[in-house]
Every structure is written in C-alpha cells, then in structure tokens.
Amino acid sequence: MSAPESGLTAAAKGNIELVETFRAEFDRSPSVLWSAPGRVNLIGEHVDYNGGRVLPFAIQHRCYVAAAGTSDGTVTIRSRQFPDETVRAAIADLKPGGSADPLGTRQPQGFGGWASYVFGVIWALGQVGVNVPPLDVIVDGRVPVGAGLSSSAALECAAVGAICEMAEADIDGPQRAAIAQWAENDFVGVPCGLMDQMASTCAHADHALLFDTYDQHSEQIPLAASVAGYEFLVIDTGAAHGLVDGEYARRRTACEDAARLLGVRFLREIADRGPDESDALLSGIGDTVLRRRASHVVSEIIRVDSAVDALKSGDWGRLGALMYASHRSLRDDFEVSSVQLDTAVEALLSAGALGARLTGAGFGGSVVALLEASRVESAAGAVTASFAAAGFVAPAACVAVASQGARREILDG
C-alpha cells in the first residue's frame, strides 16, 4: 500500500524540484507557485448537478502550478509528467471548441489534453474581466490521473490560484471554484457539476466540506475518523475512468428529463418534500430508467443529511451503512458502477469495512471505504487478492488524509 505523500518533507522536496525544472526550462525563477488537491467524495454522488448537497474532502495528493510573466505575448505550458511536450497559445486566440494548441507547436499527448485545463482557466478569467498577462507555466500533477480523484479539478484550481496572483485579481474561493468549473464545462467540454472544484478550492484540513449546490451554502464538518481509530481507505481500481465519453452527460440529461416530468427545476426539490411525498412522485414516473435514475438522486440527497448527522454524532457504523447504501443505489439505479468497483467494495466489506462505495463519477476509478485503522492493511491485501483472482490489473491503495484546499506555496530553493 502506498504511503500518503507525507507532510512537509515530500511536498517541500517536490516544490524545490518544480522550481528547478522551471529554471531549467525557462531560464529564470517562477514568480508564483500554487497547489490544489484532488478529492474523495464521502457521499452525495451525482447530485451536484441536481441541486443536492455533497460531502467531499480534499486529499493529500495535489497538483502544482508555477508561473512567471513573459514578454513574448503568449502562454507557454509545460508539464513535469510530459517533458517532451510544449504547448503554446496567444491569449486572444483561446476560444471554447478551438484547438488547445492554436499556434500548432505540438499537440499534447495523454492526460486528456492536459494543457486545455490551463488554457480554459485563462479563457474563463478573461470572460470575467481579469487581464491575464502573457505567462510561462509548469504543471506538476501529483494526483493520480483517471482514478476518479479529480486530477483535473486540482489542475484547474491550482491554475486559477497561480494566474489570479499573476494578474493581481482578488477573487474569493467559491468564485475561483466557479471559474474552474466554467473552464471545464465550456472550454474543455465536460458538463461536470461544482463539487470537485469547491472541494479542491475551499476544503479545510481534517474536515469534509458540506456543500449545498442549491443555495451554494457550505459548512466545514470535522472529520475526526483517525482520532476515533478509523481510516478512509481509497482503492484505485486502475480501470479507466473518463467523463468525456458521453455516459456522464447521459446521466445528467436523464436527471433533467425526470425533473421536467415532475415539474421542478432540480430533483433536489423532490427530496425536500419528505420521504412519503417524494416516493409517491417518483413512482408516478412511467419510464423505468428515468424513475431509477431519479430515485438514486432523491435517496442520495437524503443519505447525505443522514451521513452528516452520523459524522457529527460520531456514529461510524451508521456512516458506513449509508456509504454502502449509496454504492448499491449507484450500482443498481444509477448504473455507474463497474465489475472492478463492485469487486473492491465487496472485498472490503468482507474484510471488515464498516462501509464502502464508489467515489466520483464511477464508470471505473476509485472506491472509498471506512475501516478500523487496525484492519486497513489486511483489507487492502484482500482487495489485491480478489483482483488477482478475477484477473484484473492490480489496484493501488492509500489512506486518504483530509487536507487543505488550494493554497499559495512558498517559493524557495
């Protein structure tokens, strides 16, 4: 099992390496360095585009963005993960739907067009009147890519922080998250909700972020699992996860169709009517698939509230039961699980987890489980054994540490 990227030492070492890479690539030091984390969602899945509440926490894996101004009129972006690629564009040429590489220097490989997340942020900042100067940028993405842990939100949110500082734009956390989401929706073309960017920007260490996507209210909920002898174990199934292939957008459209049928703007409004009335309304949806999609959303929104109560009262058994109920609903009604995710969840429960569920969009990616600390190693081993028996690629495991959202990093070295 991989150790968490531990504390200051590893992070500080990584920052020094990033500054050195910047100097080697661009012949001068960066003037700003920001980082932003990936996230694990504890519960509240596929509800952020339905006006629901979500309960993610930021994890210890972060993406780093270093930048300095340049006089050549363009933005040049490099990545420590893709050292052979240089992507360059003139700011005025950045348009949604356009190439991420308007000057045609070199198309980015892998990372799903990684540079377009940074270009999208520059474009979105321009739309809200921020005058972004020409820049040289280096990205160091240390959030596993394709694991459902929001590596893209981490990149966007670190980029927003760094570029706002370069542009001397004073923009608060929730607005920075919204700009990052706008970049992903309109520039990159993924119709995600706001959960990942809010977690990556606004989460506090040792807390989960309860974010209500209906009224944008957020509350920091203390996450004292390790104090109570529990840990959140994350299993990356290694099975590809991607949102651009249409399934995520199809789920979103189904929810919008169900809301329209029920005469509301968001399915959240059905959850607010209470269990009896919402059950009656849901059973009136004639189309079976739409009914099951809407049932997941409504029941999940109710589960988030119960999970917050469980966390506040230290009822870990109840939290675990809610996590597994969420997984079953995502598997059976929302149909976003996969055989690897289900295998991991069942292996974790057999190994004594109080609860386990897919986290993030699903269709591959990661599982989060709640376990007594003493069972973490053996449970991770049980998942590895069950994957080997099924002939799946070996999963990766780590204990998730609730970490701080986007921040300015100290530049030295």
Catalytic residues, by residue number, are 196
Q: Give the Cα separation of 14 and 9 in Å (integer).
A: 9
Whichever of 333 and 409 has its CB closer to ligand GLA, that residue is 333
Q: How far is the CB of 141 from ligand GLA (least distance, A)?
A: 16
| Sole binder of ligand GLA in the list 19, 32, 45, 94 (CB under 6 A) | 45
Query: φ and ψ at 378, to 5 degrees?
Result: -70, -35
**Which contiguous run of DSSP H or E holds residue 57?**
strand 56-69
367 sits near ligand GLA (criterion: CB under 6 A): no
193 binds ligand GLA (CB under 6 A): yes
**Interface with ligand GLA, residue 333, by CB under 6 A:** no
Least distance to ligand GLA from the beta carbon of 359, Å? 8
Is residue 196 part of the contact set for ligand GLA (CB under 6 A)? yes
223: nearest Cα among 287, 310, 143: 310
> 48 or 409: whose CB is closer to ligand GLA?
48
**Considering only 20-28, 40-48, 121-129, 280-288, which stretch makes contact with ligand GLA by CB under 6 A?**
40-48
Least Å from the CB of residue 249 to ligand GLA = 11
Burial grade of 71 (CB within 10 A; 0-12, 13-18, 19 or more): exposed
Six-digit token string for 50: 């339905």
Is 157 a binding residue for ligand GLA by CB under 6 A? The answer is no
When the beta carbons of 96 and 133 are compared against ligand GLA, the nearer one is 96
Q: Nearer Cβ to ligand GLA, position 256 or 315?
A: 256
Reading the block at residue 369, the tokens are 């489980």
Residue 196: CB minimum distance to ligand GLA, A: 5
Q: Is 313 exposed, middle or buried (0-12, 13-18, 19+ CB in 10 A)?
A: exposed
- Identify the residue among 30, 37, 320, 360 touching ligand GLA (CB under 6 A): 360
Does residue 195 belong to the site contacting ligand GLA (CB under 6 A)? yes
**Which residue number, 112 or 352, has a Cβ lying nearer to ligand GLA?**
112
Q: CA 225 → CA 249, 303, 396, 401, distances in Å?
A: 34, 19, 21, 10
Piece of 45-53, 75-83, 323-331, 405-413 that binds ligand GLA (CB under 6 A): 45-53
Residue 155 in contact with ligand GLA, rule: CB under 6 A: no
d(CA 375, CA 315): 18
Listed in sequence order, the residues at least 6 apart from 281 whose beta carbon sits closer than 8 Å to its beta carbon are 262, 270, 273
**375 contacts ligand GLA (rule: CB under 6 A):** no
Could you say which of 46, 62, 176, 293 contacts ligand GLA (CB under 6 A)? 46
Is residue 300 within the footprint of ligand GLA (CB under 6 A)? no
Element (H, E) at 368: strand 366-372
Told to check if 236 binds ligand GLA by CB under 6 A, we report: no
DSSP state at residue 71: S
The full 3-state SS of 247-296, as one line of letters, equals: HHHHHHHHHHHHHHHHCCCCCHHHHCCCHHHHHHHHHCCCCHHHHHHHHH
Which of residues 18, 33, 43, 48 is near ligand GLA by CB under 6 A?
Answer: 48
Contact (CB, 8 A) for 339 and 364: no
Residue 135 vs 239, nearer CB to ligand GLA: 239
The SS3 call for residue 208 is strand
Type of residue found at 376: V
- Whichever of 92 and 244 has its CB closer to ligand GLA, that residue is 244
Contact residues for ligand GLA, defined by CB under 6 A: 41, 45-46, 48-49, 192-193, 195-196, 360-361
